[in-house]
Chains A and B, each alone.
Chain A
Amino acid sequence: MTRVPTPIAMPKLGMTMREGTVVAWPVPVGAPVAKGQLVLVIESEKAEVEIEAPASGVLRHVWVEPPAIVPCGTLLAAITATADEPFDPDAFRREHDRPEAPVAPAPAAAVAPLPAAGPRAAAPAITPAARTLARQLGVDPAVVPGTGPGGRVTREDVEAWVERRRSLVPVADGVALEAPATGAGDPVLLLPGFGTDVSAFARQIPALAERFRVVGVNPRGVGQSNPGPAERHDVATSAADAAALPGAPAHVIGASLGAAVALELALTLPARVRSLTLVTPFVDAGPRLLAVLDAWCRVARTGPADTLARMLLPWLFSARTLADDAARERVVRGLAAIVARIPASTLDRSAAGLRAWSGTRRDALRDVAVPTLVLGAGDDLLTPGVEAIAAAIPRAACVVVPGAGHAVCLEAPDAVNAAILRHVGGS
């Protein structure tokens, strides 16, 4: 049996060797070789290595002549048992030539380009569980107020928001308002001022709820209340909204812009009003008030809530509060939390409505036909001169709380509550 021809390939002398150099064939082609005899000299990594013949026979064919650098596994030569047995170099080479493929450079990882870092989302963080729940319930997480650290929206927040949403009251076509209620008895309606929500009456609600069913009304675009289609929140529309809430005629209490709405309600739908309380009201928005509103709208659009709160602080609170460091910081924190909740678009629309209404009811005060209390604050810089309003309304009572600012409901709650209770209790 003729032994099969034996290949000589460029050996792989170690894991890192990729190629070698053919340096010399000490045995000429056609000459006999003995197994173990030196048949080839190669160079690898600067060292010459002697390669022994793997079999005895004849060095029949050499494919790679020196000097040549070839990859490991390249067929270099063949040894046949005899010099004249049939041998097909091409077929043999096809079968035995296995040069190592060069290592391809690692393809640049096909990485999806990162989305261009958009402006840092103004939306606060939200937990995965909350996001999942929001998605399931079809809620836009951006509108959910967060109570977690740093305002993070938690699952509980989404649940609470959905719960609040369920309690919206329809007041007009496609418009439902958030009107949280507490307590029992005759209804009291609370109408908050510009840029705030029902929480502005936080110090009044517990006191009133002992004897009344207290309903706070977040106007269009505030809290959960629908913004509605109009580009301007007209005072007359807000009054109609409040009147549309179900229930008996109510003791209506409004503060600042809320007082304008309350006044409008008393003038247009007096049957819905059992008594009227106007806290720091105006019929003409003075230049200072208008300037503060303008700044309020601008800062709300671009600045953080803390900055807005600090800007509003001296306009809404008395010098005594401003002088007390601890009280001042506490107030700033609370104020920032409230103003953060009111979207800039709502402020713009409310301001437009306020400006449109200002001055239109100057002469109508004498037509107010419900028992009225006008409640002012001694240190109020935005709506001074409430005494004149009280004087123009028939049989209106007037109480001015000394040493308090425009946000008198928050700053002097005891005095405010006492005056209100006297008014609504006595009706």
Chain B
Amino acid sequence: MPAPGAPLSTETLMDVYRQMRTIRAFEEKLSELVMAGKLAGFLHLYAGEEAVAVGVCAHLTDRDVVNSTHRGHGHCIAKGVDVGGMMAELFGRRTGICKGKGGSMHIADLDHGMLGANGIVGAGIPLTAGAALTAQVKQTGGVAVGFFGDGATNQGQFHEALNLAAVWRLPAVFVAENNLYGEATPMEFVTPVRDLAARAASYGMRSAIADGMDFFDVHAKAGEAIAHARRGDGPTLLECKTYRYFGHYVGDPLTYRTKEEADDWMQNRDPLQRFAERVVRDGLVEAGNLARIDRETTDRIEAAVRAAEQAPFPDPSELLTDVYVKG
């Protein structure tokens, strides 16, 4: 793994672009499927925030643990969870990554250190502290990264977990994805601080702010925070300023924000576009390769949909399995 701050190789750049493009294509496809009535339940899409998940997870391996929120598809993909398994899970199929038992808000894969998306706002943050506690007690050298939104920073679980992580100097990074809205309420209406990173001061914790629409800024600041934790110097609260394109959930009428604001983010600050422009301009990656990645990704997602649609549903007997390990 390159040292933080070192320039990324072409191969790595193409890899992270592929991941971001996969997230974008995956989420857009889900939107289509929901509108066509082919998927059940609530879906919360990550489109627009790709640079945060990928920028952070680029520093992590399978021995590091991440967890996430109801808006967790991006973190799953960035952490290496199989896209086909994710799609099948969303279709409620037996071949899903959670055997169809979890659904969108509970996608997890412990083999890849993905401790799950979570349907309870803020609930993942103490879990992150717990995973960091394991790393500390067992001295694995691993770190735990928790992703959550601006709304979650007003939850009790956020404050208790950060306090605990700080006082125990846990190897954790808390990534607050500030996308300016908690459901239908603007962040500034319910949060007295402008920068969520300022909250770290209450816990004597290190903090940083990154431009969540810029992969390179996220990557640099995440690298510093993760190295800090891995060294045993304690946790960081990393705030990434970003924007969610599709609203809170698919079907959200978006009546709480203006079209002009959304268009501005989507057209002038799109993370994929900015990444592509920069790496092509700097001669790091050829434009043709990026286009190829786009096409391959589209095909991959379509194939995942077809496979998922044809996959079998779980057997009714699965209703009662895995409630307990035993008994």
Contact = CB atoms under 8 A, between A and B. Distances in A.
Interface string A348-381: 0000000000000000000000000000000000
Interface stretch (A8-16, A305-313, A397-405): A8-16
B36 A7 contact: yes
Interface string B244-285: 000000010101000000000000000000000000000000
A157 to B, nearest CB: 41
Nearest to B32: A54
Contact of A11 (B36, B42, B255): B36
A298 interface: no
Contacts of B251: 11-14, 17
Contact of B253 (A7, A9, A13, A15): A13
A47 B253 contact: yes
A414 interface: no
A40 to B, nearest CB: 11
A7 B32 CA distance: 10
B37 A73 contact: yes
A73 B34 CA distance: 10
Interface in B15-48: 32, 34-37, 42
30 contacts: A7-B36, A9-B35, A9-B36, A9-B37, A11-B34, A11-B35, A11-B36, A11-B37, A11-B251, A12-B34, A12-B35, A12-B37, A12-B251, A13-B35, A13-B251, A13-B253, A14-B251, A15-B42, A17-B251, A47-B253, A47-B255, A49-B253, A51-B35, A54-B32, A54-B35, A72-B37, A73-B36, A73-B37, A98-B37, A100-B37
A7 B36 CA distance: 9
A123 B325 CA distance: 52
Given A7-B36, A9-B35, A12-B37, 12 more contacts: A9-B37, A11-B36, A11-B251, A12-B251, A13-B35, A14-B251, A47-B253, A47-B255, A51-B35, A72-B37, A98-B37, A100-B37
Interface in A91-107: 98, 100
Contacts of B32: 54
Interface in A49-64: 49, 51, 54
Interface string A78-120: 0000000000000000000010100000000000000000000
Interface of A: 7, 9, 11-15, 17, 47, 49, 51, 54, 72-73, 98, 100
A375 B3 CA distance: 122
A72 to B, nearest CB: 6
Contacts of A12: 34-35, 37, 251
Contacts, number: 30
B277 to A, nearest CB: 20
A100 B34 CA distance: 14
Interface in B131-172: none
Contacts of A15: 42
Contacts of B34: 11-12
A14 B32 CA distance: 14
Contacts of B42: 15
Interface in B158-194: none
Nearest to A51: B35
Nearest to B251: A13
Interface string B98-133: 000000000000000000000000000000000000
A47 to B, nearest CB: 6
A14 B36 CA distance: 12
A343 B253 CA distance: 79
Contacts of B255: 47
A15 B255 CA distance: 18
Nearest to B266: A36
Nearest to A71: B37
A54 B42 CA distance: 20
A54 B251 CA distance: 14
A73 B35 CA distance: 8
Interface string B33-68: 011110000100000000000000000000000000
Contacts of A98: 37
A98 B32 CA distance: 15
Nearest first, the 8 closest Cβ-Cβ pairs linking A and B are A13-B251, A11-B35, A73-B37, A14-B251, A12-B37, A54-B32, A9-B36, A47-B253
Contacts of A7: 36
Contacts of A51: 35
Contacts of A73: 36-37
A98 B33 CA distance: 13
Nearest to A54: B32
A15 B43 CA distance: 11
B318 to A, nearest CB: 24
Among B34, B253, B255, which residue has the most Cβ atoms of chain A within 10 A? B253
Nearest to A13: B251
A11 B36 CA distance: 6
A9 B34 CA distance: 11
Contacts of A54: 32, 35
Nearest to B31: A54
Among B37, B251, B255, which residue has the most Cβ atoms of chain A within 10 A? B37
Contacts of A13: 35, 251, 253
A72 B37 CA distance: 8
A11 B251 CA distance: 8
Contacts of A72: 37
A326 B106 CA distance: 75
A108 to B, nearest CB: 27
A123 B163 CA distance: 70
A87 to B, nearest CB: 19
A50 to B, nearest CB: 9
A103 B46 CA distance: 33
A76 to B, nearest CB: 11
A421 B42 CA distance: 95
Contacts of B253: 13, 47, 49
Nearest to A12: B37
A118 B97 CA distance: 59
A170 B280 CA distance: 115
A15 B35 CA distance: 11
Nearest to A48: B253
B257 to A, nearest CB: 14
